[in-house]
Structure formats: structure tokens, C-alpha cells
Amino acid sequence: MRLKIALITGDGVGPEITAEALKILDAMAAKFNHRFDYSFYLAGGKAIDHVGSPMPESTILGCKDAEAVILGAVGGPKWDYLEGNMRPEKGLLTLRSELGLFCNLRPAVIYPQLADACPLKSSIIEDGLDLMVVRELTGGIYFGKKGYDKEKGFAFDTMEYSVHEVERIAKIAFEIALKRDKKVTSVDKANVLETSRLWRSTVERIAKNYPDIKLNHFYVDNAAMQLVRNPNQFDVIVTSNMFGDILSDQASQITGSIGMLPSASLRDDKFGLYEPIHGSAPDIANKDIVNPIAMILSVAMMLRHSFDLEEEAVSIEEAVKKTLDNGWRTDDIFSEGMKRVGTKEMGTLIAQQI
């Protein structure tokens, strides 16, 4: 099979982890007789430095022409002085919007090999952890009307949602739950926010089409508390853009390291953008210490969701597990008795397992 992929290496550790993703794809091509055609594009801080825009039109067009997109990470303190539409993160929001990527899947899984890296008591996670955060990605406060008047010392950000936006993300959450433990937790702040009241009523209406799914509701503050108190009560969490951003990062720490968790940003068809949930981490960039596993598992998600290559996706996931079984660890997941390796060596070890 010949597959067309757009690559955005980005800023900070982005180029390092993207290089390991390519290493994995090379191994996949050799094992399963695929051909991956890559096109490289600028975004984020690097794009600002080179062409004066965090999201050049050429990048948007190139991504639209591809079958899937792999993204490293964008941003860093070098560009913190910039405002509004010139910030690297704004470029990523623009790309998500232009590509129609309204659904963000963020799985949080504790690998048995890394149970000792979880900051929670062992009794809390003795049965492991496997939950899916389904985050709405192109609406809410990140995309609403905003303003900043420095002279008046006043700023505002507007959270907006339509029934249609909530319906389509809720349907995906329920469909995913059908293939898991058939439980959906909708997270909102319906005691305070009008958008959350619309969110809750819409999710409840969609739930009537899924009688086999158990639905419950949590306020976002309670959800954050329950994630550390009893994370195994959750199966699929569906929530808004900002709440999903925060809760999925919290869930990542329960698993032991944010460096382990992938994500997929999807629309109605097979097209998707795949990236680790961690940021550009400029403080550890170019030191060969960043964990590439989140990016490597994002590649597995790409093969599964965009190309329907389930066997290939599983082979990557199994290669990660075997590498961890053999005791290899990057700094973020290292513990006594394990074997410490850098970014490049971890990627090579996983590729060799494939």
C-alpha cells in the first residue's frame, strides 16, 4: 500500500521525536510491504522564523493534499513575546480548524511495566488503567471571540458551542464506548455555564440512541478530583475543548509520564492529524533524552484510524510493550534496576522489535 503523509516536525523536541516516528515507519514499510511518501512542512515557531507566519498557507494546502498528518510539537519561550495570531500555538489552532479536525482522541493507559511510575498508591491502580478522553477540538473558548485592551487592563475570551458541535462529538464518544466497557462520562460545568447546560442536554438526547451505554455527568472540578481518587471508574470521558485539554494532561500523569501518551485529531472521514499530547519541551530539546514513545504510539493510531491497518498498529504497540518488558527506559520513566537509554536508542530498539 502506498500512503501519503504530511510531516510537521515543529519546535523544541519535535524534530527528535519525528525522526523516531520515521524510523518506525521505515520498519513498518519493510515488514508489511508499504510505501510511505513524505512531504515536510513548516509550522509554529520555526515557521515564524522562516516565513513570518505560524501556519503558512503552503502548510495548510500540503496537509489537505495528504492522507494523514504527523506533528511533532510547536511553541517555546523564544516566541512568548508575540501576541494574538502570531503565536505558534495559534498556528496549530488554525490548522485544526482549516482541516476540520473536531475530534481529539487521547487514550490514557498504564502499562504494567510502568506501574511503579504512577504517582498514585498501588492499591488505586492495581487493576491498571485504560480510559479514553474524547475532546471536542474546534469549538469552545479557544475559538470564541476574544480581546485584550492593555490600556484599560481588560481582556475577555468567549466560550461558544452549538448543538451540532456537541452532537457530533457525543456520537463519537458513544460509538467508542460500544467497543469498550459501554460507559460514557460527560464532563461539564452545567451549574455555572450556559454552554455546559446546552452540552449536557444535548449529550443526554444523543444517549437515547445508545440504550446499552451507561451515561453519567461530572462537573469538571469533581472529574479532576475523581481522576486521582478513583481513575478506574472512568471508561470514555467526553468533554469540551478546554476541559479536555486539562483533564487529558492530568490523566497522562497518572499513567506515569506524559511522554507515553499519543493522540489523534479526526474529522468525519479517515483523515487525521497525529501527535503526542506533550508539548515542545524546549528545556530538554537536542539532548537525546525526550521519550519518543508517545509519538511512536501516535503512528500506531494513524495506521489504525486513517488507513485501517490494524495488524500494523498492533505490531507497533506490541513492540513498545516488548521493549519495556526488556527493561529499556528513557529518563522520564526510569527506575532502579532498569536500563537507561536516549531518544534515538529507544526508537531503534522499538524498530528492531518490529
Residues tagged active-site? 142, 189, 221, 245, 249
Residue 242, all three cell numbers: 478546554
CB 180: neighbour CB atoms within 10 A?
A: 14
Residue 327 in contact with residue 337, Cβ under 8 Å?
yes
CA angle in degrees (0–180, nearest 5) for 215-217-223:
125
Q: How far is 345 from 311, CA to CA, in rounded Å?
A: 24
The amino acid present at 20, given as its one-letter code, is: E
Q: How far is 349 from 320, CA to CA, in rounded Å?
A: 9
Q: How far is 192 from 211, CA to CA, in rounded Å?
A: 29
Helices 310-325/14-32 angle, 10° precision: 120
Residue 125, all three cell numbers: 491502580
Residue 328: strand pairing partners: 339
Helix, strand or coil, per DSSP, at residue 99: helix
Q: How far is 216 from 204, CA to CA, in rounded Å?
A: 9
Q: How far is 76 from 88, CA to CA, in rounded Å?
A: 8
| Closest alpha carbon to 249 in 261, 237, 240 | 261
CB 310: neighbour CB atoms within 10 A?
A: 11
